[in-house]
Chain A
Amino acid sequence: GAVVSQHPSRVICKSGTSVKIECRSLDFQATTMFWYRQFPKQSLMLMATSNEGSKATYEQGVEKDKFLINHASLTLSTLTVTSAHPEDSSFYICSATAWTGWKDEQYFGPGTRLTVT
């Protein structure tokens, strides 16, 4: 099946700094990628929809100036958490849309654990 990777898998940063997380579709091109956030023992919450070559669409309550999304190519989307604070510590997961031959399907990356100290 389609493979989605994320880098880094874990990152620890100091409060006030920025962190960039990469999401790559390894063996397919993805016109649409999604970013989710998951707090411990909770569900995944959609943060934004990222379309190649256009601005991301953010869900209500998600600050677009804090969570910068760039989808520069059909295989790469990046999420930058700017001026990170401890409350931004979370598990960030991306997904990418792949055409299976008869339907679109979302494939998820392994996630990135962000800890802000």
Chain B
Amino acid sequence: GENVEQHPSTLSVQEGDSAVIKCTYSDSASNYFPWYKQELGKGPQLIIDIRSNVGEKKDQRIAVTLNKTAKHFSLHITETQPEDSAVYFCAASIGSGGGADGLTFGKGTHLIIQP
């Protein structure tokens, strides 16, 4: 089955700086790659996603890049703010992607924004 590796496990950055979280996946059939933000005691919230026919996607301060050849994808957050502090999970899905298939999650990155 699919295996998703996520690094780093903890990331501390100064407010205003950029943060980058990286994930690799094992199954070349995966074609949907969402990123979730989870706050303590709550369910994950989708922040951005990308499909395999796209190399990069941006939404305001958040961007995701995908390299299908190397089987890795990254989350980029620019101009970080204290409210960005949370645990971020990457995930991968095989098939048509999105809602029809269960997700395989990375182990998560605890992002800490230092004021």
Residues of A within 8 A of B (CB): 4, 6, 32, 34, 42-46, 49, 59-60, 93, 95-99, 103-111, 113
Q: Decide: B98 and A97 in contact? CB cutoff 8 A.
A: yes
B103 contacts chain A at the CB level, 8 A cutoff? yes
User: CB within 8 A of A46: which of B96, B99, B104?
Assistant: B104
How far is A111 from B96 in the complex, measured between Cα atoms in Å? 26
A-B contact count (CB 8 A): 63
| CB-CB under 8 A for A93 and B44, given A98-B99, A104-B100 | yes
Interface of chain A, main secondary structure: strand
Q: Decide: B99 and A32 in contact? CB cutoff 8 A.
A: yes
Residues of B within 8 A of A (CB): 1, 34, 36, 41-46, 49, 89, 96-100, 102-108
Q: Distance (Å) between the CB of A51 and the closest chain B CB?
A: 10
Q: Decide: A105 and B105 in contact? CB cutoff 8 A.
A: no
CB-based nearest A residue for B91: A44
Q: Decide: B46 and A106 in contact? CB cutoff 8 A.
A: yes
How far is A106 from B105 in the complex, measured between Cα atoms in Å? 13
Q: Decide: A106 and B89 in contact? CB cutoff 8 A.
A: no
Q: Decide: B98 and A103 in contact? CB cutoff 8 A.
A: yes
How far is A32 from B44 in the complex, measured between Cα atoms in Å? 18
